[in-house]
């Protein structure tokens, strides 16, 4: 998004720590320490400025930086920048460090594996923890145990795999995807992505055969209807119009869907949407691909977000939180679908043994309490943010599951006009106060802290967010 360049930053406002501290104490009596962000220099500080200058000179300008955070170290939900400023991280490295920054057990697993074997290439050789991780993923991904796993290095690659696999298995060429979707930036994945035109501009022609339809964004229903009276009109449209007038259903290999839309604005569809899609796919023998890259690995208080909708997909794309920060992606499907021949798809670095070791430890930690923590603290955060919505008209919508929460800002409740500049200002003001947040969609802020966060840290972050909101919207 390239919100503001480092050069235009002003000196940070100090936090009103007194009020925040006392509030937090009242909320979390049993917690021993009350760690707070600590912004000791102007932002960016002197060391950060030097790195920013170098970065601006040598690094691709295509990245979307919201603010100049130059991070040196991280532990749990806390990160420290090169000037010693301490921030509370509610971005989790864009939803990646599920177990927190440098979880000691993950670091230990990485160290042990690094000392044994760094790389061998699962494409041509075998090693134990790739097979072990595949077995584990086959167990935890929804559906029958009889599954197979293709390993890759990123979310986009896991989507590419799903696209190729769907074509290969079905011998059909077309796909259906949703407006607001983000599936990655490689050519195949980008062809499905429809979150911002800046992601697609000047890259045409994209892949043939992708048709986009409206996601179930009930707060801004494209059909101007209300759920459940609408009868899930957005899925009905695919059946009644798209597949009858535009796209022959027997040519469609797969429907790609995020069970909770991520980059598009942290949009939670109504309960009937994903099941209706499943029924549509069954009706026309189309594969349903569940992109869990952002919503998976415990983020939403269940291991995979699609579990909230009691629905199973045919193919799953997974990445981000799977290995707590090491690059790894996976595409998982029923064994009967992953029926391609040797040589049809592979990647040299995919399923790297060190990443697999990190993933096995990550899953163990998720299963031993972190998914539960996400569910519990997600409720706490939603309750508190919903209060904010009751209080202020400009907080248009608060939505989420577990620790995947979006707050959408609007001009007013009637027009629901997106207020992108103000959203950006809230993100920026939070940064100045020591909280790292990211935007999502046109006018929303996303909350995706590491799943190790405790209640006190959660309230500290929400306190800062509220201060930033009040400052930007000039309310008390
Ligand atoms: C739902 C979803 N799919 C795919 C991707 C692409 O992942 P990556 O950036 O690792 O290629 C993302 C990234 O944000 C995502 O949120």
Domain count, the chain: 1
Residue 476 pLDDT class (50, 70, 90 cuts): confident
Residue 313 pLDDT class (50, 70, 90 cuts): very high
- Helices 420-432 and 455-473, packing angle to 10 deg: 130
- The pLDDT of 227-249, averaged and rounded, is 98
Confidence at residue 66, expressed as pLDDT on a 0 to 100 scale: 86
- The number of helices, as runs of H, and strands, as runs of E, in the chain is 13, 15
Distance between CA 277 and CA 280 in Å, rounded?
A: 5
**Residue 124 included in any domain:** yes
User: Could you tell me the distance, in angstroms and rounded to a whole number, from the CA of residue 158 to the centre of ligand 1?
Assistant: 9
Are 185 and 156 contacting, i.e. CB atoms less than 8 angstroms apart? yes
Are 75 and 102 contacting, i.e. CB atoms less than 8 angstroms apart? yes
**Residue 205 included in any domain:** yes
**Residue 459 included in any domain:** no
3-state secondary structure of 432: helix
Query: What ligand 1 atom has the least distance to the C-alpha of 329?
Result: 10
**Residue 378 included in any domain:** no
Residue 93 pLDDT class (50, 70, 90 cuts): very high
Phi-psi domain of 400 (left: phi exceeds 0; alpha: psi -120 through 50; beta: other): left
User: Could you tell me the distance, in angstroms and rounded to a whole number, from the CA of residue 80 to the centre of ligand 1?
Assistant: 25
- The pLDDT of 309-314, averaged and rounded, is 98
User: Could you tell me the distance, in angstroms and rounded to a whole number, from the CA of residue 414 to the centre of ligand 1?
Assistant: 33
Confidence at residue 386, expressed as pLDDT on a 0 to 100 scale: 97
Q: Report residues whose beta carbon is within 6 angstroms of any ligand 1 atom.
A: 154-156, 159, 182-184, 258, 262-263, 291, 293-294, 319
* CATH number of the domain that residue 137 is part of: 3.40.640.10
**Residue 120 included in any domain:** yes
Confidence at residue 377, expressed as pLDDT on a 0 to 100 scale: 98
Name the token pair of 252: 């469609």
Are 435 and 459 contacting, i.e. CB atoms less than 8 angstroms apart? no
User: Could you tell me the distance, in angstroms and rounded to a whole number, from the CA of residue 39 to the centre of ligand 1?
Assistant: 31
Q: What percent of the chain has pLDDT over 90?
A: 92
- Give the 3-state DSSP-derived string for 188-249, with helices as H, strands as E and coil as C: HHHHHCCCCHHHCCCCCCCCCCEEEECCCCHHHCCCCCCCCCCCCHHHHHHHHHHHHHHCCH
Enumerate the H helices of 311-436 as residue ranges: 353-365, 371-391, 420-432
Closest CA to 210 of 235, 193, 233: 193
Closest residue CA from atom 13 of ligand 1: 184
Choose the residue to mutate in 93, 163, 319 for probing ligand 1, maximizing ligand atoms within 8 Å of C-beta. 319
**Residue 379 included in any domain:** no
- Tell me which of 28-42, 121-135, 299-313, 350-364 is least confident: 28-42
- The pLDDT of 331-358, averaged and rounded, is 97
Q: Kindly report the CA angle at 155 between 154 and 160, in degrees rounded to 5?
A: 100
Confidence at residue 145, expressed as pLDDT on a 0 to 100 scale: 87
Residue 277 pLDDT class (50, 70, 90 cuts): very high
Distance between CA 74 and CA 61 in Å, rounded?
A: 25
Distance between CA 336 and CA 403 in Å, rounded?
A: 34
User: Could you tell me the distance, in angstroms and rounded to a whole number, from the CA of residue 418 to the centre of ligand 1?
Assistant: 24
**Residue 153 included in any domain:** yes
pLDDT tens, residue by residue, 22-68: 344 344 444 456 899 999 999 999 999 999 999 999 999 999 888 99
Q: Which residue has the higher pLDDT, 132 or 18?
A: 132
**Residue 131 included in any domain:** yes
- The pLDDT of 374-395, averaged and rounded, is 98
Confidence at residue 33, expressed as pLDDT on a 0 to 100 scale: 64
Closest residue CA from atom 8 of ligand 1: 155
The whole domain housing 137 covers 105-365
Task: Give Cα separations from 161 to 9, 48, 215, 289 (angstroms).
Answer: 42, 38, 23, 11
């Amino acid at each position: 998004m390239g919100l503001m360049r480092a050069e235009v930053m002003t000196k940070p406002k100090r936090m009103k720590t007194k009020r925040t501290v006392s509030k937090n104490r009242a909320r979390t009596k049993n917690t021993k320490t009350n760690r707070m962000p600590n912004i000791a220099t102007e932002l960016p500080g002197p060391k950060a400025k030097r790195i920013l200058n170098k970065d601006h000179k040598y690094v691709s300008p295509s990245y979307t930086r919201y603010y100049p955070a130059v991070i040196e170290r991280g532990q749990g939900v806390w990160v420290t920048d090169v000037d010693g400023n301490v921030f509370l991280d509610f971005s989790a490295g864009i939803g990646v460090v599920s177990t927190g920054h440098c979880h000691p057990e993950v670091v230990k697993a990485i160290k042990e594996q690094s000392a044994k074997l760094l790389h061998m290439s699962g494409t041509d050789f075998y090693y134990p923890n790739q097979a072990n991780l595949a077995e584990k993923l086959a167990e935890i991904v929804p559906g029958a145990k009889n599954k197979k796993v293709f390993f890759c290095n990123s979310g986009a690659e896991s989507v590419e795999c799903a696209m190729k696999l769907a074509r290969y298995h079905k011998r059909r060429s077309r796909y259906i995807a949703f407006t607001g979707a983000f599936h990655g930036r490689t050519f195949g994945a980008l062809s499905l992505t429809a979150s911002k035109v800046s992601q697609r501009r000047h890259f045409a022609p994209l892949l043939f055969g992708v048709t986009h339809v409206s996601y179930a964004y009930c707060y801004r229903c494209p059909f101007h209807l209300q759920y459940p009276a609408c009868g899930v009109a957005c899925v009905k449209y695919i059946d009644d119009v798209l597949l009858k007038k535009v796209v022959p259903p027997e040519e469609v290999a797969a429907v790609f869907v995020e069970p909770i839309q991520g980059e598009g604005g942290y949009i939670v569809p109504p309960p009937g949407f994903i099941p209706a899609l499943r029924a549509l796919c069954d009706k026309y023998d189309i594969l349903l691909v569940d992109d869990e890259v952002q919503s998976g690995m415990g983020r939403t208080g269940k291991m995979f977000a699609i579990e909230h909708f009691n629905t199973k997909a045919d193919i799953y794309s997974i990445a981000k939180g799977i290995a707590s920060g090491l690059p790894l992606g996976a595409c998982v499907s029923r064994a009967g679908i992953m029926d391609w021949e040797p040589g049809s798809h592979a990647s040299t670095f995919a399923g790297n043994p060190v990443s697999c070791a990190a993933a096995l430890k990550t899953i163990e930690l998720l299963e031993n309490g972190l998914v539960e923590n996400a569910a519990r603290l997600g409720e706490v955060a939603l309750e508190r943010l919903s209060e904010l919505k009751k209080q202020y008209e400009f907080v248009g919508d608060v939505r989420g599951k577990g620790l995947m929460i979006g707050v959408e800002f609007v001009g007013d409740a009637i027009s629901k006009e997106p207020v992108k500049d103000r959203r950006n200002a809230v993100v920026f003001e939070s940064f100045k106060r020591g909280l790292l947040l990211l935007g999502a969609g046109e006018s929303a802020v996303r909350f995706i802290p590491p799943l190790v966060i405790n209640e006190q840290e959660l309230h500290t972050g929400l306190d800062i967010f509220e201060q930033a909101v009040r400052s930007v919207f000039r309310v008390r």
